[in-house]
Amino acid sequence: MISLIYLFSLVSLVKTSDYSLIIDEKSSIDKPILNFPHSYELINNFQSNFNLTNNNTKLILTKMIDRDEWCAKNICPCDYCSFILELFSNHNQIPKFSTVNITINDINDHTCEFFDTQTNISLSESIQIGHRFSIARAIDYDSGMNGKLSFKLLNNEDYFELDIITLSMNEYAIYGVVKKSFDREINEKYELIIEAHDHGLLQTRFNRTKVIIELLDENDNAPKFNQIEYSIQSLPENTPIGTELLTISASDTDKGLNSLIHYSIVNSPSLSLFPFAINSTTGVISLQSSLDYETTHTYRFLIRASDSGLQQSLFNDAWCSISIKDVNDCPVEILFLPNRRFHYDNQKLFIYENTEINNLTLGYIRLVDRDSIQTKLSISLTILDKQPKQEYEIILSNQLNSYILIAKQGIFDREIQSEINLRFIATDNLLTSIYDIQINLIDLNDNPSEFLMNPMKFSVEELANYHMVEHPIEDYELTIGYLNVVDRDEGENAVNIYELESNSLVKIDSNTGRLYLIQPLDREQIQNIQLKAKAINVAEPKWMTDVQIQIEVLDVNDNTPQCLTTYSRLPILENFPTDKPLIKINASDLDNGINGTINYKFRTNSTWLFHINNVTGEIYSKDLFDYESDFKHFTLIIDLEDNGNPIKNQNQNACQLEIFLEDINDNCPELIDNEQRKIFIDLENPFENEIISFNVTDRDSGINGKIKYNLQSIESNINLNNNQTLFYLNQNGSLFMTYKINQICLFKLRILLEDYGYPSQQTLIEINIAFGNSLDSRYSSFENVQTFFQEKNSDMNYFAFIFGLTVLIITFIFLISVMIICILIRQQHQRHKAAIISRNKLLCSSSQQLTTSDSTVTSNTTSSSIEHQQIIRAPYSNERSYMNPRLSINCSTPESHTYKILHVPLDMHYYEKDKVDNISSDHGYHESYRTGSSSSSSSPEQCSTENYTRQDHKFNQLPYFVTKCKSLSEGFIVEMNVDGSDEDTR
């Protein structure tokens, strides 16, 4: 029967798996259990029990498998223990995923075990025949027939018999049944021996247990559940902790304490972490720890109801089954398998630099989702580096949820980018997983060493000479410095040794590059040393780098700073700018460099108004000097020290400076009392000629503070003939009136206050004087008088505004009219000009030109006058002719004129042609026709060529305004009519 089951399972697995295997539990380890045709790699290792050997072609066990333990822990089903191993192969560069279905065969290696054995059972002597009571539970952890048990009572068969209830495939509940009434006075104790044996095919295992039964007189009813078995179907695995799941109920027909029921859960000994709890009083089952469908699919446990009998507590058990429903709570697992060319460890992929990239396969990716809910898995790639140097891509392989990671193009260079950080993000549309891979480039010695600078400069003090002479030490070495070489490689590839050209002063440590003296130096004899050195790589290829070395011998600080002028007296004008130095302290130090650099500082704190530049010795004022303040004299002491080591200073020869302030004219005269700007004079009260004496001050001293007064202007709202002589201003600041007035008025005086300094400071003040009448409320105060005249001025301003606006509108209309007239005149002029230009084509042919020669102007028979001349160019000819035609104008009618060219020569020499071109244009026709352009105008007539037959100068066509064209032996006579409207009246 077992063989048939295994055979059926094997046939079903062959359809879905590449390999199948059946092994016995507790098989030997480290022995091959399956051979493969080529090498594989394990993707998952079920419970870490397997491994591959012999070039990954043989599968072995690494740990002994206890099938029964797996069954108890729900690692695999008890009835059929089977699982899948996933393998990966890259044979012949073809990636392939394979599976092995492994079935664990059970052996009879366990003996029946008794649990919850009631070794001392108390029964009421009045208990009814057929009463059933719990004795124990028995379990055999084997499977199939090896776990099937049979039970036998070995003694007291007359009073008791066994009732066996199968709880599961290999678990049983043992109950005793009373067959005969008891009499406690005859026998109050019974001993039962129970034997259990399994049904193993090859061998049978058995075990025994002993139970003592005592008879009592009380509590002879056990609790009873309201149903045989309780169950919960499809409990979501994400159910919150503390959720109440189910209420268990049982009843007891006893009374008092014997009917008080307490509930409890009888845990299976194989479950160490149990997620459920029951309230002992209410029977409510609740969740006390989180569920995980991927760990345990179902729970089945016993619930016990016990009464509270005083001498003995009776109980009854019922089963509770809870099935767990899977939810999508497991993120996608990302498995990365590297290319065998590269080493991979702890999510780090190691690749040699200078590896060429051309769709290079870096590894393979497999996505696994432990949830039973089928979802679509997806993955994306992100490069975490800010400026990636290569492009990477994941492409789908030929297997489900499998991908290939490739680098597209370029080359790996560790010196440009030593590591690349890739992040894979996988999702099942709900949960997201992140898997990071770091690509570390393994260094190659592909870079020569480089010195930070070339030449490398060092310095050593001449004092080293005295150290070496006064304190001689055997093999004394004074370090000058180190050759700083940089190699972009790392590790052994960056190790260098150093060589220095032979000399008698300096040597080098070949390992560290340390330069050191081998004999004393004297700066007065040797100021600098020039050497050559090289750095050589230890690793192959041995790169070599040369460098120039310059060693400067430095001076020591053996001189003290000295002040060139120990005492100075400095007069300073007040308001001297703070950004300019008052004076520069001059000092010197005979040392060189930093030893001769001098620091300047004040000795005492009384110099709060000053600060000194420590480097230049320039002294500045922190604030502007004010001669009008209490401080007019300052004494400063400046100490000197250099920056050498040790510091040299000379306080005894410090510089002393005395500063005296001098006044400048920096203050303007000011009117102290602003009330004096408004003066009210009551005409009802007599007053003296002096109106007021101004209270004016100037904060400067001496002549800079002396003030003179000048009355600049007087404005009034009334007309007085002698308005400008009404007031007189004395130089002591007193204002007088030269005569009295008796009307209400308002005066504005502008007074210039000026001091006698150079340049002088001036202030212009305005004084308003109102003449009012205290008896009239309209003019009883300065403000009333001022308000009265302001309202009066506002009315006048309003009328002035209206008048000005009217003038502006009239002017605007006039300008618009002028512009329109000018536009019309211009348009008429342009039309006239266009008509004249259209009639300027006066000659006979479009391809010939005429030139003028001397001619006479004759008048018409009726009336004519010579007004204009028309210059016409003749065609070029080799013959010379100096004849000039003359033009006559027929003015018989005002509507038209007749122009006659009496004589036109046939030919003219080229020289004469140029002369004609320079003749000015005529004045007889508007926009004169200068040079006779070609014309294509048609004419019904054509000049005759009877007397002269040269074809080069024939007039082919005549314009419509030519009336006659007669050929002569010397040329042509042309007569034309032109509309009189073309004349330009001059």
Same domain, 674 and 792: yes
Q: Is the omega angle on the peptide bond into residue 759 within 30 degrees of 0, that is, cis?
A: yes
Q: Span 782-806, mean pLDDT? A: 79
Same domain, 688 and 773: yes
Q: Which of the pair, 494 or 559, is modelled with greater confidence?
A: 494
Residues 839, 935: Cα–Cα separation, whole Å: 12
Same domain, 432 and 360: yes
Of 9-13, 356-360, 411-415, 524-528, least confident by mean pLDDT is 9-13
- Among residues 697, 705, 662, 669, which one has the least CA distance to residue 575? 662
- Among residues 604, 606, 564, which one has the least CA distance to residue 584? 564
CATH number of 183's domain: 2.60.40.60
Amino acid at 782: F
Same domain, 58 and 146: no
Same domain, 674 and 791: yes
What integer pLDDT is reported at residue 162 of this predicted model? 92
Is the separation of the CB atoms in 419 and 384 below 8 Å?
A: no
Q: Span 15-30, mean pLDDT? A: 79
Same domain, 676 and 791: yes
407 found inside a domain: yes
Is the separation of the CB atoms in 99 and 87 below 8 Å?
A: yes
Same domain, 436 and 455: no
Of 237-251, 324-338, 715-729, least confident by mean pLDDT is 715-729
Residue 13 CA, chain-centre distance (Å), reads 57
Residue 567: Cβ-neighbour burial (10 angstroms; 0-12, 13-18, 19+): exposed
Specify the long-range contacts of residues 974-978, CB closer than 8 Å, at least 24 apart.
974/844, 974/900, 974/901, 974/904, 975/898, 975/899, 975/900, 975/901, 976/842, 976/898, 976/899, 977/896, 977/897, 977/898, 978/839, 978/896, 978/897, 978/898, 978/899, 978/925
Q: Span 619-643, mean pLDDT? A: 84
Same domain, 142 and 94: no
* 414: Cβ contacts below 8 Å, ≥ 6 apart: 353, 441, 442, 443, 444, 489, 490
pLDDT in tens, 145-172: 888 888 999 998 899 999 999 888 788 9
| Concatenated DSSP letters of 697-754 | E--S-GGGG-EEEEEEEEEESS--TTGGGSEEE-TTSEEEESS---S-EEEEEEEEEE
pLDDT in tens, 341-370: 899 999 999 998 888 888 899 999 998 888
Q: Which of the pair, 270 or 562, is modelled with greater confidence?
A: 562
Residues 870, 900: Cα–Cα separation, whole Å: 10
Last residue within a domain, chosen from 753, 779, 796: 796
pLDDT in tens, 270-324: 555 789 999 999 999 999 998 888 788 888 889 999 988 877 788 899 999 999 8
Is the separation of the CB atoms in 859 and 865 below 8 Å?
A: yes
- For the beta carbon of residue 985, count every other beta carbon within 10 angstroms: 4
904 found inside a domain: no
Last residue within a domain, chosen from 279, 301, 325: 325
Residues 10, 19: Cα–Cα separation, whole Å: 10
Is the separation of the CB atoms in 736 and 728 below 8 Å?
A: yes
Is the separation of the CB atoms in 514 and 507 below 8 Å?
A: no
pLDDT band (50, 70, 90) for residue 945: very low
* 858: Cβ contacts below 8 Å, ≥ 6 apart: 864, 886, 888, 900, 902
Amino acid at 281: T
- The pLDDT > 70 percentage for the chain reads 79
Q: Span 786-802, mean pLDDT? A: 76
pLDDT band (50, 70, 90) for residue 533: very high
Last residue within a domain, chosen from 216, 238, 270: 216
850 found inside a domain: no
Same domain, 124 and 196: yes
- Among residues 634, 584, 580, 642, which one has the least CA distance to residue 607? 634
303 found inside a domain: yes
- For the beta carbon of residue 741, count every other beta carbon within 10 angstroms: 15
User: Beta strand 298-306 with 315-325: parallel, antiparallel or unpaired?
Assistant: antiparallel
Whether the full predicted model's pTM is greater than 0.85, yes or no, is no
Cα 279–Cα 280–Cα 281 angle in degrees, nearest 5: 90
- Dihedrals φ, ψ of 949, to 5°? -110, 20
pLDDT in tens, 869-922: 333 333 333 333 333 433 433 433 434 444 444 444 444 333 333 333 333 333
964 found inside a domain: no
What integer pLDDT is reported at residue 177 of this predicted model? 94
Answer yes or no: is pLDDT of 810 > 60. Answer: yes
Q: How many residues does the chain have?
A: 986
What integer pLDDT is reported at residue 885 of this predicted model? 39
Residues 300, 719: Cα–Cα separation, whole Å: 125
The single residue listed with the structure tokens 């297997």 is 399
What integer pLDDT is reported at residue 850 of this predicted model? 39
End-to-end alpha carbon distance in the chain? 144
Same domain, 645 and 727: no
Same domain, 674 and 770: yes
What integer pLDDT is reported at residue 233 of this predicted model? 92
Longest pairwise C-alpha distance within the chain: 194
- For the beta carbon of residue 949, count every other beta carbon within 10 angstroms: 8
What integer pLDDT is reported at residue 469 of this predicted model? 55
What integer pLDDT is reported at residue 437 of this predicted model? 93
Please report which helix (H) or strand (E) contains residue 830, including its range.
Answer: helix 782-837
What integer pLDDT is reported at residue 567 of this predicted model? 85
707 found inside a domain: yes
Q: Span 397-419, mean pLDDT? A: 87
933 found inside a domain: no
Specify the number of domains making up the chain: 7
Is the separation of the CB atoms in 768 and 746 below 8 Å?
A: yes
Residues 851, 877: Cα–Cα separation, whole Å: 11
- Among residues 223, 225, 5, 216, which one has the least CA distance to residue 106? 5
pLDDT band (50, 70, 90) for residue 798: confident
Residues 662, 672: Cα–Cα separation, whole Å: 26
- The pLDDT > 90 percentage for the chain reads 19
What range defines the domain where residue 376 resides?
333-442
Residues 520, 180: Cα–Cα separation, whole Å: 123
Same domain, 644 and 681: no
pLDDT in tens, 267-277: 755 555 789 99
Dihedral over alpha carbons 123, 126, 130, 133 (to 10 degrees): -20
Is the separation of the CB atoms in 568 and 637 below 8 Å?
A: no
- Among residues 351, 360, 337, which one has the least CA distance to residue 439? 351
What integer pLDDT is reported at residue 304 of this predicted model? 92
Per-residue H/E/C for 292-357: CCCCCCEEEEEEEEECCCCCCCCEEEEEEEEEEECCCCCCCEEEEEECCCCEEECCEEEEECCCEE
Residues 896, 607: Cα–Cα separation, whole Å: 109
304 found inside a domain: yes
pLDDT band (50, 70, 90) for residue 66: confident
Q: How does the average pLDDT of the chain come out, rounded?
A: 78
Residue 704 CA, chain-centre distance (Å), reads 64
